[in-house]
Amino acid sequence: MLCTPILSRTLATVPQAMHQAAAQADWIEWRLDFLEDFDFGNPVPQVAPVLAHSPRPVILTFRPQEQGGARPLSLSERWAFWRHASQLEAARFDFEADLVNWALQENQPLPPWEKIIVSHHDFEQTPEDLPGLVGQMFPAPVQTFKLATKASNTSDLLRLFQLLESTSRQAIVIGMGMPGAATRILGPAYGSLVTFTTAADGAPSAPGQFSARALREVFHLPALNRETTVTGLIGCPVGHSLSPHIHNATFAALGINGVYVPFEVQPDGQDLPAFVRNFVHPRTRCCGWPLRGLSVTIPHKVNVVPLCDRLTETAQGVGAVNTLLVEDGQLIGHNTDVAGGMEPLEKKIWLTQRSAGGGAGGGRSGAGHSVRFGSTGCPGDSLCPQSGSRPVGGSPF
């Protein structure tokens, strides 16, 4: 399900924002901490009429600044607010974990657990021991928790998905930032209660959010499920790429249950091997996605070569890979830059060995390779890459 936040500054603009959000959202999160013309000491008569006319179920949130909220709020201020606001007819109430733990210690009354989402945000890191953190922050009575952490690399992404798949409780697990983008796209298919979008006006309430329109129309949520074939793009950066628009539209047009996801893989020498090992290679991956293949862009086209089991002839000649396919238990590296770069040119001119090639990040190598081998990019009379692939000495996996 898609949940769109309402970040309105005035009460009068909230109903319009709710109806605007309802065009794409399944749920609405009303961020009361953003309101500037609001009596926080008497929330019920102000909020109840708006809730009564909401076109979607509403999560009420009153977030303190240190947890990503719009204003500084002490624990006592939040508790005073919720003592009244928890009487409202909302679908859910979002209570921060510190507030819930304090209330339990002080034997303070709470709404029914099925109405509470207990949340914690870490804007600095994804802690190593996520199960331990969950046990500490979300005690046993908690039925639904939300954990949002800053994802810095794909190892963080892996731990977030492992937590989502291992918990026995209802959960919302989010990796904030582009390295965690897959949690926002694939999370609901693997157990997340909702995925949060940007506000209806496009404003984000947390790093790395997509618009509800993009999640529905580009990535086709909520139709994704555990049988959805996962493909995508690895590179850094990837947020600007149009590839998800193109490939996901193709899946939809062909009636294929597939999704194309942007994966931001850091160029630090460690994240790429970790991503291939943990998510991609069929012999070592520990994430249960049915991943079938990936596009590869800068800066990983060359560095991914030794991580493959086999290379097509062109990829081996170029020394760069722009496509990874999982086939028969192996990871095969392909290069389509040669054909893609040369096809429009060969109709006009026969390039000789002295001709110059263009491109970048492996594309230049592809063009140069096709120059050396002629317009087809294939040496002599040998077949093009479709004819087979050659081992590269064995991947490290």
Catalytic residue check, 301: yes
Q: What is the DSSP string of 361-372?
A: TTHHHHHHHHHH
Is residue 293 within 8 A of residue 243, CB to CB? The reply is: no
Q: Which amino acid is at 301?
A: K
Which stretches within 129-285 are classed as H helix?
Answer: 130-137, 154-166, 181-186, 212-217, 243-254, 271-275
Of the candidates 115, 146, 301, 348, the residue annotated as catalytic is: 301
d(CA 193, CA 216) in angstroms, rounded, equals 16
d(CA 322, CA 312) in angstroms, rounded, equals 11
Write b or e for each residue in 222-249: b if 16 or more Cβ atoms lie within 10 A of its Cβ, otherwise e: eebeeebebbbbbbbebeeeebbeebbe
Tell the residue number behind the tokens 């006009």, with chain if given. 348
Q: Which amino acid is at 393?
A: G
Tell the residue number behind the tokens 């793009």, with chain if given. 233
Active site residues: 301
